[in-house]
């Protein structure tokens, strides 16, 4: 079972590494990181690179595709080679998935037309503009398409997927191995629970976190 | 504010990337990944490398040290150069922290003697053997030393640390940016909530996840 992660300049590391840490532990998993060119791919912070193992041209039939998001998504939306590759491999995937703004790439490739999907909360209008039916759920399944909300939501998506791929017992074993028993000290992780003025401020300044 | 992540062969990616995704967003954060040699460092799955920016010799006074864990921790426990480096930079850190079995390295460096600390649940006895006072809490602070339980617990540690470094409002802004509103579909993430037979099986086979 090959699981392919698409990397591109200025993607968000946790979007990929969260699901990777879960799905790479599935019995029989073969994980591959792929990008236009193999080698280090710089993340959005400018201070962390993940290595792409293979160029897109050498990853032709993954069983599972995972497309992360990040500030770099916008540039990929008009990259014909990337969108063509997503469409081509999707023809044979068992699951085509995304985290955060990665769903915009699936939609731009034409895969989410009239499908229920999610994205980072700041991207939901853009997702609608690309033909999908946006929802504000954390993980959304529609057919073989699974999309997660922002950044950390990819971890939850991966556990849902692990259960469908290998059964509840295996998914629970992985949960215990990575000790996924989250205990956030704050409750500002969604637009429903965060202070409204915080949502407005981040929306206004493009998610820049500033000192207060 | 320099935040240094120690990388070494066969570390667990999420141990580092979880806290990185939170702390790199702090105003004024300068993140550096460091290892014995700069360049790609292979993680425990054998299929993902993160790039170390600088050799240990060029990271001499980080404000915050983060030591991840993983199957590779054991080999580092007897690496005098790594332990000496941890001890040397600890002399000037504001916070010295670890995720998962990374706490064994802090303890082996002599930094957790008689201090309350945590680790991956399978390592708590080893932590006691190295002089610390193990607890089964998810995040433990004792003086300037902060330790997290296994793998994903580093995310929670990072939010605690973000709040102490930059205040609750900034930490909450980061939580909303990375949409950290966890909704695990299973409840097996700790030894307290997982089925007892699952805990026993993983303990017996060294955390290998097998098909069932």
Contact B41, B51 (CB under 8 A): yes
Strand partners, B139: B148
Compare all CA atoms of chain B with the CA of A169 and give the residue at the minimum distance. B212
What is the value of pTM for the model shown? 0.97
Low-confidence ranges of chain A (pLDDT < 70): 212
Tokens of B62: 């980080």
User: Cβ of B17 and A14 within 8 Å?
Assistant: yes
Residues 6+ apart with CB under 8 A from B29: B1, B3, B23
Spatial CB neighbours of A91, under 8 Å, sequence gap ≥ 6:
none
- Which residues, 6 or more positions from B201, have their beta carbon under 8 angstroms from its beta carbon? A173
Q: In this structure, what are the phi and psi dihedrals at residue A99, rounded to the nearest 5 degrees?
A: -130, 135
- pLDDT score of A211: 75
Q: What is the pLDDT of residue A97?
A: 98
Q: Cβ of A53 under 8 Å from any chain B Cβ?
A: yes
pLDDT band at B24; cut points 50, 70, 90: very high
B30 touches chain A (CB under 8 A): yes
Q: Residue B82 CA to chain centroid, in angstroms?
A: 15
A204 in B contact zone (CB under 8 Å): no
User: Which residues in chain B are contacts of A24 at CB distance < 8 A?
Assistant: 45, 47-48
Which ranges constitute the DSSP H helices of B13-120? 13-23, 73-76, 80-90, 102-108
Q: In terms of Cα–Cα distance, which of B22, B175, B23 is closest to A190? A: B175
B 119-148: CB under 8 A from A: 120-121, 138-139
Let me know if A58 is exposed, middle or buried by CB neighbors in 10 A (0-12, 13-18, 19+). Answer: exposed
Q: Residue B212: is its pLDDT beyond 90?
A: no
- Characterise B207 by phi-psi region: left (phi > 0), alpha (psi -120 to 50), beta (else): left
Q: Which residues of B are catalytic?
A: 100
Q: Edge-to-edge strands of the sheet including B49-52?
A: A39-42, A49-52, B49-52, B39-42
Question: End-to-end CA distance of chain A, in Å?
Answer: 47
- Please give the torsion angle defined by the CA atoms of residues B140, B146, B151 and B153, in that order, rounded to the nearest 10 degrees: 50
Residue B59 has pLDDT above 90, yes or no: yes
Q: How far apart are CA B211 and CA B169, in angstroms?
A: 44
A110 lies within 8 A of chain B by CB: no
Binary contact (A47, B30; C-beta < 8 A): yes
Q: Is B61 helix (H, G, I), strand (E, B) or coil?
A: coil
What is the pLDDT at residue A65? 98
Range list of H helices, chain A: 13-23, 73-76, 80-90, 102-108, 124-129, 153-166, 168-177, 196-204
B2 touches chain A (CB under 8 A): no
| Largest Cα–Cα separation, chain A | 49
Integer-rounded Cα Rg, in Å, for chain B is 16
- CA pair distance A69, B175, nearest whole angstrom: 17
Q: Which of B47, B175, B188 sits opposite A189 (nearest CB)?
A: B175
Cβ atoms of B187 and A176 within 8 Å: the answer is no
For A119, name the nearest residue in chain B, comparing CA atoms only. B179
pLDDT tier at B137, thresholds 50, 70, 90: very high
ipTM of the complex: 0.97
- Please tell me the CATH code under which domain A2-184 is placed: 3.40.50.880
Catalytic residues of A: 100
Q: B2-183 architecture in CATH?
A: 3-Layer(aba) Sandwich (3.40)
Note whether B125 and B75 are within 8 A (CB): no
- Rounded distance, CA B61 to CA B86, Å? 11
CA-angle at A198, arms to A11 and A133, nearest 5°:
55
Q: What are phi and psi of B50, to 5 degrees?
A: -110, 150
Q: Which residues of B touch A149 (CB under 8 A)?
A: 179, 181
| pLDDT band at B211; cut points 50, 70, 90 | confident
Residue A120 to residue B179, Cβ atoms within 8 A: yes
CB contact under 8 A, A182 and B186: no
Q: Is A161 on the interface with B (CB under 8 A)?
A: no
- Which tokens belong to A112? 């989410």
Q: State how far the alpha carbon of A21 is from the alpha carbons of A175, B48, B72, in Å.
A: 10, 10, 16
d(CA B38, CA B6): 11
Question: What would the pLDDT profile of B84-136 be if each residue is shown by its tens digit?
Answer: 999 999 999 999 999 999 999 999 999 999 999 999 999 999 999 999 999 99
How far away is chain B from the Cα of A165, in angstroms, using its nearest Cα? 11
Q: Which residues of A touch B41 (CB under 8 A)?
A: none
């Amino acid at each position: 079972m090959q699981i392919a992660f698409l990397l591109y300049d200025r993607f968000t590391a946790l979007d990929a590494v969260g699901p990777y840490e879960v799905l790479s532990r599935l019995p029989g998993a073969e994980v591959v990181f792929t990008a236009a060119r193999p080698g280090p791919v710089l993340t959005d912070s400018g201070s962390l690179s993940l290595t792409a193992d293979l160029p897109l041209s050498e990853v032709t039939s993954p069983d599972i595709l995972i497309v992360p998001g990040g500030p770099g998504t916008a540039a990929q939306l008009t990259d014909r080679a990337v969108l063509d590759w997503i469409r081509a491999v999707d023809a044979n995937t068992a699951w085509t998935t995304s985290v955060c703004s990665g769903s915009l790439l699936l939609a731009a490739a034409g895969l989410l037309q009239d499908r229920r999907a999610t994205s980072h909360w700041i991207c939901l209008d853009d997702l609608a503009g690309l033909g999908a039916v946006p929802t504000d759920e954390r993980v959304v399944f529609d057919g073989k398409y699974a999309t997660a909300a922002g950044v950390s939501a990819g971890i939850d998506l991966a556990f849902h997927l692990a259960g469908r791929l290998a059964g509840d017992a295996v998914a629970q074993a992985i949960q215990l191995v990575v000790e996924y028993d989250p205990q956030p000290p704050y409750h500002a992780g969604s637009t429903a629970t965060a202070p409204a003025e915080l949502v407005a401020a981040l929306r206004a300044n493009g998610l820049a976190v500033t000192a207060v």
